[in-house]
Structure 1
Amino acid sequence: MNDLAQQIEYYVRLPYRVTIERDECDGAVCYIARHPELRGCMAQGKTPDEAVADLDDALYDYITALLEEGIPIPLPIVRQIHAHKAVTSTKRWPSFSIGRTILLSQVG
């Protein structure tokens, strides 16, 4: 596996959040799935499952395009918050559990 393929594989396996919104497409109900951390990475489908399945394909293409253009790829929000809190924590607050990290990401 070459370096680009390894980088793509790394990023598509990260735990990016998925949001699903009900919408109307051409007069019919459809669903839009997005990765909020990845601006513009979205897909639509007739069902939520179809939208998420198409989002997996969109994620691969999105990551590939960013890597080929040399554009930095954002990490999932949970990891960013957890890493920041771990670095900035004091002796009084030595670490944050992932549960607290998820809660913080939902509040902010």
Structure 2
Amino acid sequence: MSMIMSSIKINTDALEGELDRFLDIPADHSDLIHRSEAYRDVKYPVVLTRLAGGEWLAEHKDLPGCKTHGGTPEEAMARLEDVKLSWIYAAMAEGRKIPKPATGVPIVKIV
């Protein structure tokens, strides 16, 4: 077995290129990261829901499907910030318009 393994050489540059293609990483990845990070301080209203198992669901209704859960409301909201930026990154990569936060609603609503 060791003789076989010692004769195999891996072209890591080619592997990285193939991995990027497999993962469908956009060519403008760095720009998308920078542009999505600009939304870190944009405050979207959060709806917090206590789940039957005791965990909390946090979601941004303005960003459809942007939700996560945590053991406490604070944990769920902290995770939601990362999910929000990932949601915005994906929307930008797909060329979709980023919705503006709803106005006139509480920033955090517990249901």
TM bracket (short chain)? 0.5 to 0.7
Query: Quick check: 1:73 aligned with 2:77?
Result: no
TM-score, length of structure 2 as denominator length: 0.62
The percent identity for this pair of structures is 35
Residue 32 (structure 1) aligns with: 57
| Unmatched segments (≥5 aa) in structure 1 | 79-101
Residue 48 (structure 1) aligns with: 73
- CA distance, structure 1, for counterparts of residue 81 and residue 38 of structure 2: 14
* Larger fraction in helix: 1
- CA distance, structure 1, for counterparts of residue 72 and residue 64 of structure 2: 22
TM-score, length of structure 1 as denominator length: 0.64
| Unmatched segments (≥5 aa) in structure 2 | 1-29, 107-111
- Which segments of structure 1 move beyond 4 Å, counting only runs of 4 or more? none
Residue 21 (structure 1) aligns with: 49
Higher relative contact order (CA 8 A, sep 6+): 2
* Aligned positions, number: 77
CA RMSD of aligned residues (A): 1.6
Give, in angstroms, the shift of residue 15 of structure 1: 1.5
Higher radius of gyration, 1 or 2: 2
